[in-house]
């Protein structure tokens, strides 16, 4: 895919997120918007390395961004129209956080509480390595999620098991700075480069090429990719804290969608 | 029981290539060899219980059978959300082995007691089986059964009690037996229900002498059929070595209304620091 086509994917996925939020009267739209390029980059890398997408190797620890997950599945033809329409409706197995659906490779891990997916992903990566499978695993964590103790425990675990076995785990941090008003974390995340013996990259989290390059440059080793993102990108109003869990109604749905169309037409 | 647990686990590590043991910096000396090395796939992951649970779930998801082992309050109460989300809700079935019964670190005070472990684990009764082996003799079977049953996780509570070994010779777990099987006359249509380590205590031994039947239970939840059978007795005395009288509560809800006298552990902090396990009575 060329650059314009990949950007088209990013815009279309955002439209799907918006549609989900509008239809379901639920969803964390800005948090979902900020990880779109990260998800698409991971899927692009998977395609380039092997036969196809493998959603089981992507752990969305930032579970409230699940509408991005549904939207990406829909865009790549892994979610039916009926399933898409059912999100958030009474009795549906798809809801506002990553669902617990057993034996479905699209949803191999469910969560909504922060801090769980990172250590889980380390266990998965180690298990694969012990089985001789060095294809990469990916985990997406939020910078606010890095407030949780398990984020730092996970880094200790990585340090321990790097000596034991190679771990091919890419940790993508969605650094949208939305939690800086509570516990400032950005400067501590940047110190990960020196504190832990793990490869580290700072990238623009909305630059598909930059994310993909960082993933590929890390080879088969564990690495941290600190993705500088803007919450709600590319829609400015969505970066306001009041939009964190705001419902999408008819008027702001139209407003945001028109803005997305405008941005795409200007590419 | 920790020694027997370690011996079983070390043998399993040798025999099964997809078997992993995670230790929370406890019982490590029981696993190391003369060169102070742990066996292959046995890892001391230190004191990060919450991440240890999630990490174990990830290993399970990659196809390994996993045992997690550390002191019960930190394993169960501290890491409860990880047990809830990563093990129960995500159905990554592992075996959780706590190092101690509720008051085995008695003089270390309430932070190291855990009488809430069984009630908490039973919140996921369709996903987690609770096992309380009476003594070392019964432990290997519980460990084997835990891994044989792939559909659920298991929580195994180790204890150090040896207790009444004569009594244990005649024990058939989870089956109602007439007390005349042991000695003395039967007394009315009554039953003593002994859960887990409660078979070792003087209180329960005294109650046992007053009933016609008894049952020693080492797996929870029990089946509804067994619950029905127990409720058929006119009087039921129940000893439950944890902080809530769960079986007694269920028995009282049966339409036959057996007379239920229940004993359970107090919650540590309510009764301050004490140095031996004791039961408090609840019932008419």
pLDDT digits over A80-115, tens only? 999 999 999 999 999 999 999 988 999 999 999 999
Contact list in B for residue A115 (CB cut-off 8 A) is: 50
- At residue B192, what are phi and psi to the nearest 5 degrees? -105, 125
The whole-number pLDDT of residue B284 equals 47
**Does residue A54 have a pLDDT over 50?**
yes
Contact list in A for residue B56 (CB cut-off 8 A) is: 123
pLDDT digits over B144-202, tens only? 999 998 899 999 999 988 766 556 666 789 999 887 655 555 567 899 999 999 998 88
The whole-number pLDDT of residue B88 equals 97
User: How far apart, in whole angstroms, are the C-alpha atoms of residue B233 and residue B259?
Assistant: 8
Look at B58 and A119 and tell me if their CB atoms are within 8 Å.
yes
User: How far apart, in whole angstroms, are the C-alpha atoms of residue B9 and residue B140?
Assistant: 10
Look at B48 and A127 and tell me if their CB atoms are within 8 Å.
no
- Please give the mean pLDDT across all residues of chain B: 89
Which among A110, A122, A149 has the least Cβ separation from residue B90? A110
Contact list in A for residue B81 (CB cut-off 8 A) is: 113, 116
Q: Percentage helix, strand, coil, to 5, in chain A?
A: 55, 10, 35
pLDDT digits over A14-25, tens only? 999 999 999 999
Phi-psi region of B5 (alpha: psi -120 to 50; beta: other; left: phi over 0): alpha
Q: Are A248 and A27 in contact (CB under 8 A)?
A: yes
Count of Cβ atoms closer than 10 Å to residue B214 Cβ: 24
Contact list in B for residue A121 (CB cut-off 8 A) is: 58
**Does residue A1 have a pLDDT over 50?**
no
% of chain B with per-residue pLDDT over 70: 90
Which among B41, B50, B54 has the least Cβ separation from residue A123? B54
What ipTM does the predicted assembly reach? 0.92
Contact list in B for residue A117 (CB cut-off 8 A) is: 54
Q: Are B23 and B49 in contact (CB under 8 A)?
A: no
**Contacts across the A-B interface (CB distance below 8 Å):** 89
Strand order in the sheet with B213-217: B177-178, B213-217, B190-195, B235-240, B259-264, B280-283
Which among B55, B63, B64 has the least Cβ separation from residue A120? B55
pLDDT digits over B84-133, tens only? 999 999 999 999 999 988 888 877 878 888 889 999 999 998 999 999 99
Q: Are A53 and A47 in contact (CB under 8 A)?
A: yes
Q: By CB neighbour count within 10 A (0-12 exposed, 13-18 middle, 19+ buried), where does B172 fall?
A: exposed
Contacts of B257 (CB under 8 A, 6+ apart): none
Look at B58 and A110 and tell me if their CB atoms are within 8 Å.
no
**Residue B273 to residues B72, B101, B103, B241, B277: CA-CA distances in angstroms?**
18, 16, 10, 17, 11
Work out the minimum CA distance from A132 to partner chain B, whole angstroms.
11
Contact list in B for residue A131 (CB cut-off 8 A) is: 62-63
Question: β-strands A169-175, A223-228: how paired?
Answer: parallel
**Does residue B273 have a pLDDT over 60?**
no
Q: By CB neighbour count within 10 A (0-12 exposed, 13-18 middle, 19+ buried), where does A207 fall?
A: middle
Strand order in the sheet with A137-142: A58-60, A137-142, A169-175, A223-228, A199-204
For residue A118, the SS3 value is helix
User: How far apart, in whole angstroms, are the C-alpha atoms of residue B104 and residue B10?
Assistant: 24
Look at B90 and A119 and tell me if their CB atoms are within 8 Å.
no
Q: Are B94 and B60 in contact (CB under 8 A)?
A: yes
Tokens of B200: 């070792």
For residue B43, the SS3 value is strand
CA closest to B46 among chain A residues: A157
Look at A120 and B48 and tell me if their CB atoms are within 8 Å.
no
* Position with higher pLDDT, A267 vs A131: A131
Contact list in A for residue B86 (CB cut-off 8 A) is: 116, 120
**Does residue B44 have a pLDDT over 80?**
yes
The whole-number pLDDT of residue A25 equals 92
CA closest to A59 among chain B residues: B58
Look at B90 and A109 and tell me if their CB atoms are within 8 Å.
yes
Q: Which of B44, B50, B54, B126 to mutate to test the interface with A (most CBs of A within 10 A)?
A: B54
Q: Are A117 and A124 in contact (CB under 8 A)?
A: no
The whole-number pLDDT of residue A227 equals 97
Look at B58 and A131 and tell me if their CB atoms are within 8 Å.
no
Look at B58 and A126 and tell me if their CB atoms are within 8 Å.
yes
Q: Percentage helix, strand, coil, to 5, in chain B?
A: 40, 20, 40
CA closest to B52 among chain A residues: A119
Which A residues 93-132 touch B at CB under 8 Å? 100, 102, 108-111, 113, 115-128, 130-131
Contact list in A for residue B57 (CB cut-off 8 A) is: 120, 123
Q: What does chain A come to in residues?
A: 267
């Amino acid at each position: 895919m060329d650059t314009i086509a990949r950007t088209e994917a990013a815009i279309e996925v955002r439209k799907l997120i918006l549609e989900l939020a509008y239809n379901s009267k639920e969803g964390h739209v800005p948090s979902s918007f900020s990880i779109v390029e990260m998800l698409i980059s991971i899927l692009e890398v998977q395609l380039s390395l092997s036969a196809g997408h493998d959603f089981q190797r992507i752990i969305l620890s930032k579970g409230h961004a699940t509408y991005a997950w549904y939207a990406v599945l829909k865009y790549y033809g892994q979610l039916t129209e009926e399933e898409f329409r059912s999100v958030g409706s009474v009795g549906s197995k798809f809801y506002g956080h990553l669902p617990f659906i057993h034996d479905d490779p699209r949803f191999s891990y469910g969560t909504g509480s922060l801090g769980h997916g990172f250590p889980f992903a380390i266990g998965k990566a180690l298990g694969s390595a012990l089985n001789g499978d060095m294809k990469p695993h990916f985990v997406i964590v939020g910078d606010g999620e890095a407030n949780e103790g398990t984020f730092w425990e996970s880094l200790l675990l990585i340090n321990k098991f790097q000596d034991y076995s190679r771990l091919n785990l890419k940790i993508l941090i969605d650094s949208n700075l939305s939690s800086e008003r509570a516990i400032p974390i950005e400067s501590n995340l940047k110190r990960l480069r020196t504190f832990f013996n793990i490869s580290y990259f700072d990238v623009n989290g909305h630059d598909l090429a930059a994310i993909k390059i960082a993933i590929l440059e890390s080879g088969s080793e564990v690495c941290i990719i600190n993705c500088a993102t803007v919450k709600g990108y590319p829609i400015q109003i969505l970066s306001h804290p009041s939009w964190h869990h705001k419902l999408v109604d008819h008027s702001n749905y139209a407003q945001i969608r028109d803005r997305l169309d405008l941005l795409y037409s200007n590419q | 029981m920790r020694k027997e647990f370690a011996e079983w686990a070390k043998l399993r590590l040798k025999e099964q290539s997809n078997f992993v043991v995670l230790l929370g910096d406890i019982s490590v000396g029981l696993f190391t060899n003369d060169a102070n090395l742990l066996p292959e796939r046995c890892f001391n992951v230190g004191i990060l219980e919450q991440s240890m649970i999630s990490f174990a779930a990830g290993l399970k998801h990659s196809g390994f059978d996993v045992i997690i082992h550390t002191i019960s309050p930190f394993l169960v109460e501290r890491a409860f959300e990880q047990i809830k989300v990563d093990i129960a809700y995500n159905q990554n079935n592992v075996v959780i082995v706590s190092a101690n019964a509720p008051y085995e670190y008695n003089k270390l005070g309430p932070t190291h007691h855990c009488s809430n472990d069984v009630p908490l684990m039973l919140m996921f009764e369709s996903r987690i089986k609770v096992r309380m082996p009476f003594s070392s003799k019964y432990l290997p079977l519980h460990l084997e059964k835990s891994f044989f049953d792939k559909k659920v996780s298991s929580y195994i509570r180790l204890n150090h009690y040896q207790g009444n070994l004569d009594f244990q010779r005649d024990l058939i777990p989870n089956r109602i037996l007439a007390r005349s099987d042991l000695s003395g006359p039967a007394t009315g249509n009554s039953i003593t229900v002994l859960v887990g380590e409660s078979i070792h205590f003087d209180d329960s031994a005294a109650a046992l002498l007053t009933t016609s039947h008894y049952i020693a239970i080492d797996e929870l939840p029990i089946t509804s059929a067994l619950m029905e059978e127990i409720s058929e007795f006119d009087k039921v005395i129940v000893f439950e070595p944890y902080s809530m009288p769960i079986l007694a509560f269920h028995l009282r809800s049966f339409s036959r209304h057996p007379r239920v006298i229940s004993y359970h552990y107090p919650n540590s902090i309510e009764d301050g620091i004490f140095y031996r396990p004791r039961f408090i009575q609840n019932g008419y």
